[in-house]
Structure formats: structure tokens, C-alpha cells
Amino acid sequence: MIRYDLKCDNGDEFEAWFGSIADYDKQAEAGLVECPHCGSKHVTKAPMAPAVQTARKKAARSEKAVAMAMAAKVREHIKDNFDYVGDKFADEARKMHSGESEERAIWGEATPEQAQELAEEGIPASPLPPGLAPVQPKKLN
């Protein structure tokens, strides 16, 4: 038995077992090798060695894990050091800027219009990229 990593012309990758190399050639020539995902008969042997593929997948996974761990740290930092002001963000930012209230680190929600206004007024506020905003505390109404 021989195992092939195969790839169809739609980019699906799959594996298939054949009795021998000749078996694969025969079946492929006769159009009997079919992609199990899309049914395409335009199937070729995947050029990538399985070991390389595995290593690449692992690397991609750990990069994502690192990014997620960093995001978690940032979220934690914001949660511990920033006051959540909810949708009063623009008001609070203005008050601190004008000296009406003491400067402190805050985070909350602002509409794109509010963010634009703050920028025009020269008030520093930067949007948190998705994934970096902490889970919002429950609003106390």
C-alpha cells in the first residue's frame, strides 16, 4: 500500500491509499481518482512533503498563540489600569483635556463621529484594535 497526499484543481488537499504506484497512475489516467471534497477529477500529487506541512502548520499555530497571549495581556492591562467609562468616553476625554477632571487612563466606547471630533480637537484617543478591548463590564443602569 502506498499513501499519496493529493490536491485537486480547486485547492482541496486529501490523502488516498493505493495498492502500488502503478495503481495510482492507472486510476489517475482512467479518471478514477476523485476529490472527496468537490468531486473534481483534476487531481495531482501534492508537492509538499507531509513533514514540512506539519511543521508549517505548527509554526502558524504558535504564532497565533503568541498573538493571542499578547492580546490577553493587553486586555488585562487595560482592565487593571484603565477606567471603563462606557459611552461617556468622548465627554470624559474632553473633561480631562480641559482640566475639568483629573487625567487618568480611560477606555470606553465612542462612535466614529465622536472619535473624529476628538481628533479634530487635538484630544489623544486611539481606537483599540479588535481583540484588544477587554470584555466590557456590565453597565450599571
| Given 6, 33, 35, 90, the residue binding Zn ion (CB under 5 A) | 35
Number of residues that bind Zn ion (CB under 5 A): 7
**Contact flag: residue 44 with Zn ion (CB under 5 A):** no
Query: Taking a C-beta distance cutoff of 8 angstroms, is the pair 4, 24 a contact?
Result: yes
Site residues for Zn ion, window 52-81 (CB under 5 A)?
A: none
Of residues 129, 127, 120, 133, the one with CA closest to residue 94? 120
In this structure, what C-alpha cell is assigned to residue 137? 463590564
Of residues 109, 114, 108, the one with CA closest to residue 82? 108
Cβ proximity to Zn ion: between 8 and 90 the closer is: 8
Query: Taking a C-beta distance cutoff of 8 angstroms, is the pair 103, 123 a contact?
Result: no
Question: Of the ranges 38-46, 81-89, 110-118, 125-133, which one interacts with Zn ion (CB under 5 A)?
Answer: 38-46
Residues that bind Zn ion in the complex, under the rule CB under 5 A: 8, 10, 12, 35, 37-38, 40
